[in-house]
Amino acid sequence: MKNDGVCVLKDDMQELIELFKKADVVVFATPVYFYGISAPMKTFIDRMYPIWTALGSKEIYYIVSAGLGEDIINRSLGDLDGFVEHLQSYELKGRIYATNVMDAGKVKDQPILEQAFQMGYDL
């Protein structure tokens, strides 16, 4: 790499990169929009490119919401899965999918809030 693992953009991302390197556990949370992860999540992944060879070992959790079913989520995780697969080593410890939550408040009708609480508690 030309930049020795330092992003050419000078903003808060360098701080996020350092936090990511130090973390043992990472929770990726994103909505699905038009069969893909959100633009901010994709931007985060792309901005990690300068250091992808030095990301370390991580325990990984996913929290993903979608207006339609789980098949939409599974079809949408290519970018996120690809990023995680490039970690030095990882263990995908948990996935929480909030499906069919197109309308505001729909998530309250599902057991996922308790699942998310339990996942956090178990950490």
| pLDDT one-digit tens code per residue, 95-117 | 999 988 888 888 887 888 889 89
pLDDT digits (tens, 9 = 90+) for 10-67: 888 888 888 988 999 999 999 999 999 999 999 999 988 877 777 888 999 999 999 9
Question: What phi, psi does 50 have (nearest 5°)?
Answer: -60, -20
Q: What is the third-level CATH fold of 13-122?
A: Rossmann fold (3.40.50)
Which two tokens mark 72? 């939409």
| Higher-confidence position of 6 and 63 | 63
- What residue ranges in 39-78 does DSSP mark as E strands? 57-65
* pLDDT for residue 3 is more than 80: no
Q: What is the pTM of this model?
A: 0.85
Domain ranges of the chain: 13-122
Amino acid in the structure at residue 43: T
